[in-house]
Structure 1
Amino acid sequence: MVNHALQVSAALADMQIFALEGSRPFGEAVVRHLGLALSAHEERGFEDGEHKARPLTGVRGRDVFVIHSLYGDATHSGNDKLCRLLFFIGALKDAAAGRVTAVVPYLAYARKDRKTQPRDPVTTRYVAALFEAVGSDAVVTMDVHNLAAFQNAFRCPTENLEANKLFVAHFAPALQKEDVVVVSPDAGGIKRAESFRQRLSHAIGKPVGAAFAEKHRSLGVVSGEMLVGEVDGRIALIIDDLISSGGTIARTARACRQRGAKKVIAAATHGLFMADAETVLADAALDGIVVVDTVPPFRLHAGPLKDKLIVLDSTALFAEAMRRMHEGGSVTDLLAGR
């Protein structure tokens, strides 16, 4: 009888995984799913604020993955994390790594993907150019704000993992006997919400309604109160790619309640919880919030918001995507459930 563990180890023998500072707990969880250990590296800061990072093990000819989620925290800004990741990828390429894949659960600047005012930057494209400049062979992320813009910005291969699979697995068991409607908080998120709605409907074996809220943004001010779709007497699931200040989610939750929703739950991939999000999302109109662990909810304190928050583990999904990339398998099939 063939030992499956030995088969897995042999198949992944040429794979090396690093996780930079701040993303180490996430990286450790990923490698546990693969039966591997993180490769050793050094990160060193200097008195003038500069830094260096280097692998402490040989990478020549190896298939290397570097895990680093680019959200700002108390230790490093998103800019600093991006710079550290780019320099480390450059060091790996200079050390003759065969292929280097950046695994970026949360990709900074993904929201600035188009010009909204005269002479605006298109920062997503600039970030893509930086990854390419240091020799990145591929970039893996989860639920970018605008998939088309992300794919068009990069010339190297990209993979966008979707949290829908995680959300469906979480919600489906409790919704078998409920009337449900999936709500997009704006017209731009309808495709994302529709993908989730179809998956959820298939999982629970019954129709799921669709709705979307009106949203206008001008000079940082968000407005719009109209809700299109039937929510009366149903459980409303608001689906979005991220929560920042929480204003969009709270406004949509109130609109659902005003139109008779039985219960309102928000699900968003990246929980940034900036500014007054704790206060805004403590609104009684919102019964619960579900996010993914691409960004730890470190900004939240004990209280009403944290009490209704659930964080889903995405590390197994990332691990499987990385394994398939290493072995030449299909990430598309993974997202389709195959």
Structure 2
Amino acid sequence: MPPILFNLDSDPSLFDALLEAMAANRGQLEQRKFPDDESYLRVHSDCADRDVIIYCNLYQPDNKILRLLFLIYTVKEMGAKQVGLITPYLPYMRQDKQFHHGECVSSRPFSQLLSAALDLLVTMDPHLHRYHSLDEIYTIKSTVVPAAPLIAEWIKQNISTPLLIGPDIESEQWVSEVARMSQAPFQVLQKIRHGDTDVEVSSPHLEQYHDATPVLVDDIISSGRTMLETIQHLKHAGIKRPVCIGVHGIFSGDAFMQLEQVSDVVTTQCIPHPSNRIDIAQPLAKATLLLLNE
């Protein structure tokens, strides 16, 4: 039997693509609000002895997590065999250390909450900084789908002479992998900090790439400051208008507007946005089906 796939408050176009890629049955779900703003939820699909997958993009999670828990509880009560979650953006990963007394290391209670409710989890490039893998905090079956191959393929299909740019030494491993997959050269800029606000950026080897299109790649574009600083340096070096690629395009404030003025901005479908140009449905669907059958 194919799995049942529910869409909970998330991008309908990606849901339709996942539904087709997984050959899944569309889950029928009824939702509304009571006058006191509490949530009503009813599942109309027969979930007994079926694998159930919930597509719920947990970007801005506080608006969705309670309804997600209600849905998980309900389909389990109806007899679902396994209940999984596809969330292209996995939240509460950045707070992975207590910097000040009394701070909540939110990644840990959030992971415990989802692990207690679910059987499996599929996401794309979560923010793993101090954690080496999701297994350090999640106790369920999980798969991280890498965005690097998708970004590399997009570069190969759309940019004739790319030059991958890393804004600092910390980006080298990520940028070099995308460059290898897209069969393109890469350069990593060097930052020399002279003070809290005095930062010198150097790039001694850019002169030979004046005919190339610089491609800046990052996992999360939030304020866009790192990319904007890097673009300013590239502009001084006299090379072409760059392309900025992000896995998760958060774009706080006017970040997108500022970046769009000086570059072409491209993101994956992980967070719905007009810059989405890199499809992610096929690898998410494949990873989910593999995890279901383990």
Same fold (TM over 0.5): yes
How many angstroms does 1:39 deviate by? Answer: 1.2
From 113, 118, 142, the counterpart of 1:130: 113
TM-score (norm 2): 0.86
Unaligned runs of 5+ in 1: 1-12, 73-77, 202-206, 299-308, 329-338
> Is the CA contact (8 Å cut-off) linking 2:49 and 2:81 kept in structure 1?
yes
Query: Structure 2 CA distance, aligned partners of 1:131 and 1:318?
Result: 19
Q: Give the 3 Å change call, closer, same or farther, for CA 283–189 of structure 1 in structure 2.
A: same
Higher mean C-alpha displacement, 94-103 vs 112-121 = 112-121
- Aligned residues between the structures: 287
Q: Does 2:89 correspond to 1:106?
A: yes
Alpha carbons 1:110, 1:124 under 8 Å: kept: yes
Q: Does residue 32 of structure 2 align to residue 44 of structure 1?
A: yes
1:98-153 deviation line (CA, Å, top 9, x unaligned)? 1111111112222222334444332122211110222x111111111116253412
In structure 2, the partner of 1:311 is 277
Matched, 1:324 2:294: no
Q: How does 1:161-240 map to 2 (within 5 A)?
A: 161-175=145-159, 178=161, 180-201=162-183, 208-212=185-189, 214=191, 224-227=199-202, 230-232=205-207, 233=210, 234-240=212-218
Q: 1:95 to 1:198 in 2, by over 3 A?
A: same
Contact 1:185 1:240 in 2 (8 A): no
Q: What RMSD over aligned residues (CA atoms) do the two structures have, in Å? A: 2.6
Deviation of 1:175 after TM superposition, in Å, equals 4.6
The correspondence for 1:23, drawn from 11, 26, 38, is 11
2-structure distance, mates of 1:128, 1:261:
44
Measure the CA separation in 1 of the matches of 2:285 and 2:226. 32
Letter of the 2:3 counterpart: M
Q: CA deviation at 1:243?
A: 1.4
Q: Which deviations, in whole Å up to 9, do the C-alpha atoms of 1:173-211 show, x marking residues without a partner?
A: 3555x3x4322334443332222122112xxxxx51231
Query: Partners of 1:164 and 1:155 in 2: how far apart?
Result: 26
Tell me if 1:56 matches 2:39.
no
Alignment-mate amino acid for residue 143 of structure 2 = E
Q: 2:175·2:186 contact (CA, 8 Å) conserved in 1?
A: no
Other structure's SS at 1:98 match = coil
Preserved contact between residue 222 and residue 255 of structure 2 (Cα < 8 Å)? yes
Q: How far off is 1:170 after superposition?
A: 1.2
CA contact (8 A) 1:211 1:230 kept: no
SS at 1:270 equivalent: strand
Residues 286-301 of structure 1: matches in 2 within 5 Å? Answer: 286=263, 288-297=264-273
- Paired with 2:175 and 2:246, the residues of 1 have a C-alpha distance of 11
- Alignment of 1:120 onto 2:96: no
1 CA distance for matches of 2:199 and 2:68?
Answer: 39
The structure with higher relative contact order (CA 8 Å, sep 6+) is 2
Q: Give the TM-score normalised by the residue count of structure 1.
A: 0.76
The 8 Å contact of residues 176 and 186 in structure 2, kept in 1 or not, is answered as no
Alignment correspondent of 1:157: 141
- Tell me the amino acid that sits aligned with residue 154 of structure 1: Y
Structure 2 residue 66 is the aligned partner of structure 1 residue 66:
no
Q: Residues 67 and 253 (structure 1 numbering): CA distance in 2 closer, same or farther, change over 3 Å?
A: same
Alignment partner, residue 79 of structure 2: 96
User: Counterparts of 1:245 and 1:118 in 2: how far apart (Å)?
Assistant: 27
Percent identical among aligned pairs is 23
Q: Distance in 1 between matches of 2:290 and 2:101?
A: 42
Compared CA separation, residues 117 and 222, structure 1 to 2 (3 A): farther
Q: Note the C-alpha offset of 1:319.
A: 1.9
